[in-house]
Amino acid sequence: MPRTLLRAGAVVAAGALAATLGPSAVAGPDACSSRTNNTHAKLAECVTLEGVRAHQAALQAIADANNDTRVSGSPGYDESVEYVRSTLEKAGYSPTVQSFTYNTFITLSATVLEQVSPAPTGPVPVSIMSYSGSGDVTASVTALTPPPADATPGCEAADFAGFPAGNIALISRGGCTFAAKATNAAAAGASAVVIYNNQAGVLNGTLSESFALDLPVVSVTQDVGQRLAGTAGLVLRVKTDTFRGEATTYNVLAETAGGNADNVVMAGAHLDSVNAGPGINDNGSGTAALLETAVQMAKVKPVNKIRFAWWGAEESGLVGSTRYVASLDEAARDRIALYLNFDMVGSPNHVFFVYDGDDSDGVGAGPGPDGSARIEKTFEAFYSQRGIPFKGTDFSGRSDYGPFIAAGIPSGGLFTGAEGIKTPEEAQIWGGTAGAQYDPCYHQPCDTYANNNDTALDVNSDAIAFAVLQYGMNTSDVNGVAGKPNFAPVQPTTAGMASDGRQGGLHDEHEHLSES
């Protein structure tokens, strides 16, 4: 793949890592289909941007034929499952399709938020909270006390003391789950709930599949929410039209025939999109890069068993990965050495984020299980060797590593940003547009094949291949299990570290946002 450097003067690490990853003769398609890609250099030659983009193109074609969506429980998702399954089978794997039922959520018609009075009246930009109930409500609005006066607005029943029954509750994000806020509002007699962001950017959240109240719950930006909260005599109309019901959907899993079955390396990406669009960055990017890595590793004989996973119903609250981890008995969980997660790795206005296994970013979520810090260092070593800046992002539990961390399994992975806003400092380091979302099409109909940054996807596809092969051969740095000496644990240098890379707060990880 192209070895594009993202800033001048970057220093490439020396020594064994450089020799392992350094440039070599480009392999042709025939060579890649016939040889064993059992070194980092050979595998990187064969996991190409063109190969990854071909998988994304296939996912786009599936969405095009299925109402522009690949949401779990829909025909578009089922066809995505079949595409991944058949591709793995053609490469020589024996994939398993794991079915499960869950409460699906589908938006049946457009969500509406209108200011009825005072003037100026008219539509207000709005997003629906996943698993919202249905309703068409016109009512006065009561705004709860926002932060900092109340750091957890709507999280306690006392926050609704004196709430006028039948009013619409307007609540800031912060302090507890959206479902908790909505449940408390409903108990106080609210007819609908509008939650506004507590930071810049669009808020796309979920109430999670267990939310069953028939209550309209929507979200707006921070600016809109603050304006509404400051409007005297406000009357809003909120309309939601949704379906919540049981559906069957699937995870796809495939593992290497060989390798130590008592020391399993797992790598996963969610396969589903949201209702609103085809999901080609979220998460066709992680899906495609992991699929191409698996295809190009099909002839490799790893020391440790490698298990690849494509998760269903992630956008409904990590349902597929949660059900998978819950299905494992203690012995099976103990056999998993580590989990690698790849969710949104080609964002158009990207930053190269690495999940913060050791909590050195200090943003409050805490470190991952023992071994997670070493996974972080492995990705940092890859970027350092390329002379590419990187930056930590918090383990908030809002992507499919969450259930693995909860089970005590060391975890790590990559991310290039979702609805978070790129800072001027980040734009100076990685290019792109300061003040704009990392992915302006996050959870939108425009998350299509065109919604992509080739450099980010190219580099991260190599990074994914590097980490999967590295840990397939040697997990000694994570759990002490010895592996191949020529795959010794790698160490990062400071060459690729962003000048502000270990500072700063929470970066907007791909959020289902069941938590505010």
- Catalytic residue positions, numbered: 314
116, exposed or middle or buried, with CB in 10 Å at 0-12, 13-18, 19+? Answer: middle
- The residues near 446 (Cβ < 8 Å, ≥ 6 apart) are 277, 440
In Å, how far are 305, 392, 426 from 405, measured between CA atoms?
20, 17, 28
DSSP annotation of 292 = H
Alpha carbons within 13 A on the beta-carbon side of 13: 24
Distance CA 114, CA 491 (A): 55
> Considering Cα of 466, then 468, then 470, then 475, what sign does the dihedral take?
positive
Q: Give me the amino acid identity at 36.
A: T
Return the CA Rg of the chain.
Answer: 23
Give the full edge-to-edge strand order of the sheet including 235-240. Answer: 122-123, 112-117, 235-240, 135-143, 168-172, 192-196, 217-220, 127-128
Distance CA 222, CA 192 (A): 18
Name which of 434, 436, 390, 430 is nearest 413 in CA terms. Answer: 390
Q: Quick check: 112 and 237 in contact, CB under 8 A?
A: yes
| Residues listed for the chain | 516
Omega before residue 283 within 30° of 0, cis: yes
